[in-house]
Amino acid sequence: MGTRVWDAFLTEADKASLTERPHQVWGYGERPALVLIDLYRAVFGDRRQPLREAMKAWPWSCGPQAWDALPHLQRLLGAGRAARIPVVHVTGLHSDDSGVASWTESPWRAKNAKAPDVAMAERIRHRFDIVEQVAPLPGEAIIHKATPSAFCGTPLLSHLHALDVDGIILVGESTSHCLRATCVDGRGYRFKMTVVEECVFDRHEAPHAINLFDMHHRYADVLGVDEVVAHLGSLRSTRGARRPPAAVP
């Protein structure tokens, strides 16, 4: 890729230092999985709206950035499925259903919070529903988390180990928060991490760009969707060529 999304936020000194210590390429791994983080209703809302307008009904909204990512997410998800790599969907854990408090909750906040009106209560009930555009297919893993990282307190690590996965293609939101936390933990567990630039998003432009820069230069390869889709296409071709011949009746 030429111009990167973070270039506008770097000083001349920042750019100069990169020539001394360029990005280390990690690679995809031999057996990658596609992990989708928090593509749920709360960050999309009901329809595309300007951010401040969307936040009136959905306080968790990421606004137009979420909707802009959807076509790229659908394309990548289709490529991952065609390549027959493991697909894992990660979403939030409802504290009302599980009895497990989210990391965002506190006894003080719960005690002093006003009861939501009927409309907001309904939104809260459905806020962790994965949107239909990237909904899981039967057989694809769905993991619920109560912390920013998809690894913390979930079966994600053991699930990936059971499938002999050694690399993660990571997408979703938010760039500066849950996606980054998952990326850092994934690299700590020695997975080769790939973050797909057009398939991640955040509420704010600057944190999105700088966190992509930080992940690219410390934990992952931040690549464009065209490049990653092409790689998945090569996996599909290789795996297709290795299929055993059909039995002769």
pLDDT at 111: 54
Where do we find the tokens 């401040």? Answer: 52
Which DSSP symbol is given to 94?
-
pLDDT at 191: 98
Amino acid found at 73: L
Find the Cα–Cα–Cα–Cα dihedral 135, 190, 144, 55, rounded to 10°: -70
pLDDT at 118: 79
Find the Cα–Cα–Cα–Cα dihedral 178, 165, 34, 209, rounded to 10°: 50
Distance separating alpha carbons of residues 93 and 99, to the nearest angstrom:
10
Predicted TM-score of the model (pTM): 0.89
Q: Which domains does the chain have, with CATH numbers?
A: 7-241 (3.40.50.850)
Which DSSP symbol is given to 140?
S
Helix axes 178-188, 205-218, angle to 10 degrees: 10
pLDDT at 240: 57
- Tokens found for residue 63: 């606004």
Distance separating alpha carbons of residues 40 and 152, to the nearest angstrom:
19
From first to last of the 249 residues of the chain, give the pLDDT tens digit: 678 999 999 999 999 999 888 888 999 999 999 999 999 999 999 999 999 999 999 999 999 999 999 999 999 999 999 999 999 999 998 766 656 666 666 555 555 567 777 788 888 888 999 999 999 999 999 999 999 999 999 999 999 999 999 999 999 999 999 999 999 999 999 999 999 999 999 999 999 999 999 999 999 999 999 999 999 999 987 765 444 444 444
Within 10 angstroms of residue 213's Cβ, the number of other Cβ atoms is 20
- Distance of alpha carbon 35 from its chain centroid, rounded? 6
Distance separating alpha carbons of residues 229 and 77, to the nearest angstrom:
9
In terms of Cα–Cα distance, which of 126, 118, 117, 115 is closest to 42?
A: 126
Q: Is 189 helix (H, G, I), strand (E, B) or coil?
A: coil
Ramachandran class of 49: left when φ > 0, alpha when ψ lies in -120 to 50, beta otherwise: beta
Within 10 angstroms of residue 224's Cβ, the number of other Cβ atoms is 15
